[in-house]
Amino acid sequence: MKNLFKISGGIAALLLIQACSPANFTSWQQEHFNKTPITEKETKTISLKNENNQEVQKLLGVGFDGSSNGKENFSIDKIMVGDRVVGAKNIIVPPGSSLNIQISYEPRNMETSKIDYGGWVTGEETPFRTHKPGEEPKPPDRSKAIQRAVVLAVYESPRQGIAQVELVGTAVPGPNGELSLPEGGVSECQPGGGVACFTGNFSIDIPKIFTSGPQETPLLGAIRFSVDGEASLKMSDLPPIVFVLKGNGPGEPLEGQPISAVSIVIRGVAGEEATGTFDGSQMELQNLSFRIQVVAGEIQPEDALGITPLVDFALNKLTMITEEPLTDGKITFKMDTTLSENPSGNPIFDQFFGNAQIIVRFRGNLAL
């Protein structure tokens, strides 16, 4: 676990500035979006100017506070210096120019964010209201929902610190009364007619790092396999999988820092399809493709859509075999691969994960 915390601290260093530096600053501003119906969206651009007319301003990166983005009602569409599109990390803003962050607000549901910023509280539990005998209690107000998130812009030099931008949107029902959008990446799965549905747990073991053994988490939804003659899996049908690395007490690398954890998100690569065989007992698939993302903060699987990651890379051409054949509806799939020396291209991430063996298992039930 000691190595685990070192990884968290190393990745967090991509975003954090040492708190003891006298040059550090923290700025805060709010950006309000108009009332936006479900199924629609509003876009605006936030500008952060380099007030120094002599020196370039370097930033480590821009992204969401991982614990603030709720149901992914907000997304960062693009990041620009002036009108030039740049990446989310290692940004250089010339003297007098501006860092421009284009944000979209697309409410996914009518849930008010449970957040307390500066004494402004939203998402409190509604207290019980008494009513006269024979009267129905007043239903909760579903006419609007206040939704919020925080974007962090982390400055490196010559200014050091974090500019925090609180996004505030108000969701209202859609034009046909819609109260939510379907969650992408989690599709309905009905077994039969050449379709098999897997439900269960995902576990990952990285012996180089996880000294306490594999980490296991339930899948957010079913995995839909096609088993009509041959076997196949559209990688976009894989529910997002999240596991969290964090410090857990005094002396850990993340103690007292603006973020206390990092989350690693695993999802299928859109547009890719794995193919193979299934004989009614064992399945083997080739060419699985996974996208690996690292985001600051602790997030839940249902919050993994639309994140702006610190690290983002793909693992391709993987093979999945059956470790325990289908028996009484239960089955276990396994993948075992070794990463390259620089799998992500990020030096801090790769010093821990370079050349690491990764063992993944899907253990659960397969309905035919």
Summarize pLDDT for 139-162 with one digit per residue, the tens: 555 688 899 988 999 999 998 999
Amino acid 254: pLDDT: 43
| Pair (163, 254) in one structural domain | no
What value does the mean pLDDT take over residues 78-84?
Answer: 90
Give the span between the Cα atoms of 240 and 238, in whole angstroms: 6
Q: What is the CATH number of the domain that holds 86?
A: 2.60.40.10
When divided into structural domains, the chain yields a total of 2
What value does the mean pLDDT take over residues 344-352?
Answer: 79
| Pair (244, 151) in one structural domain | no
| Pair (158, 220) in one structural domain | no
| Pair (221, 84) in one structural domain | no
**At 243, is the secondary structure helix, strand, or coil?**
strand
92's enclosing H/E stretch is: strand 89-93
pLDDT band for position 192 (50/70/90)? confident
Residue 122 inside a domain? The answer is no
The residue with greater pLDDT, 286 or 119, is: 286
Amino acid 133: pLDDT: 63
Q: What is the CATH number of the domain that holds 234?
A: 2.40.160
pLDDT band for position 183 (50/70/90)? very low
Cβ proximity of 150 and 169 under 8 Å: no
| Pair (151, 201) in one structural domain | no
| Pair (305, 265) in one structural domain | yes
Amino acid 285: pLDDT: 96
Amino acid 187: pLDDT: 52
| Pair (149, 275) in one structural domain | no
Task: Please name the amino acid found at residue 357.
Answer: Q
| Pair (26, 152) in one structural domain | yes
Summarize pLDDT for 209-264 with one digit per residue, the tens: 777 788 899 998 899 999 987 899 988 888 889 888 765 544 444 445 555 677 88
Residue 177 inside a domain? The answer is no
- Verdict on whether the full-model pTM lies above 0.85: no
| Pair (158, 254) in one structural domain | no
The residue with greater pLDDT, 125 or 236, is: 236
What value does the mean pLDDT take over residues 33-44?
Answer: 90
Query: Which residues contact residue 183 at a Cβ distance below 8 angstroms, ignoring those fewer than 6 apart?
Result: 108, 302, 305
pLDDT band for position 309 (50/70/90)? confident
| Six token digits for residue 348 | 């801090």
How high is the mean pLDDT of the chain? Answer: 80
Give residue 298's domain range.
195-367
Residue 202 Rama label (left phi>0; alpha psi -120 to 50; beta): beta
| Pair (217, 362) in one structural domain | yes
| Pair (327, 222) in one structural domain | yes
